[in-house]
Amino acid sequence: MMKYLLICGFLLLQVKGFTQQPDSVHAPIEKTRKDPRPFMSRISLGGSTGFWINTRETHVEVSPMLAYYFPKILTTGFGYRYIYTRDRFYGKNLNTFGPNLFARAQLTKRIYLWTEWEYLKTEYAYELASTEITTRTDHVDSYFAGAGYIRQIGRKGRGGISIQVLYNFLYNREDNSPYYSPVIYRVGYFF
């Protein structure tokens, strides 16, 4: 046991001695180039809205987001989604809300790929055996991927409108998801 402690101590002294060598022995460290863009030109506020209706429900969606533009083609960010649902069959107002994380890869000036994960707390109407209607909550994960088209508006290109078609890979008809299908569309805007 003592032999192992001596070997470990000797190795630690060697490592410590190696790290304290003069700077002339070490290779020069290259400085990383900072992003020359001002911080405010690297971030953007935006969001999306949605509206869909079926024979039983009406949904209205609002989703603000904050995005960070990397120097080349990548944009990442986070947002928060709120969906108001009016269940006409049960006569209930329902709320769904939760955070999301997204990434966008700009393929051309107008076409991009989009991926997004969101975690929603969703409220749904539930009929008890005594025909009493109540609401319950559930958590629903969604993972979207798809493509979009963006049209910039304004002289500086800071604002614009986008249209997306996305597929929800975690969609399950049996879940209490607020989405009507695994394929959804969105209209977004940014400043």
- Summarize the confidence of residues 172-184 as an average pLDDT: 86
- Summarize the confidence of residues 17-34 as an average pLDDT: 52
Of 99 and 50, the one with more pLDDT? 99
Q: Is 35 helix (H, G, I), strand (E, B) or coil?
A: coil
Q: Is 168 exposed, middle or buried (0-12, 13-18, 19+ CB in 10 A)?
A: buried
CB 171 within 8 A of CB 180: no
Most confident of 32-36, 38-42, 71-75: 71-75
CB 169 within 8 A of CB 126: no
Q: Comparing C-alpha atoms, which of 81, 78, 87, 151 is closest to residue 124?
A: 87
- Using the predicted structure, report yes or no on whether residue 34 has a pLDDT greater than 80: no
Q: How many helices (H) and strands (E) does the chain have?
A: 2, 8
Give the pLDDT band (50/70/90) at residue 157: low
- Helix locations, the chain, DSSP H: 2-19, 39-42
Question: Is CATH 3.30.2020.30 the right assignment for the domain spanning 39-190?
Answer: no
DSSP run (H or E) holding 69: strand 57-69
Strand partners, 78: 66, 101
Angle at 183 between CA 75 and CA 179, to 5 degrees: 95
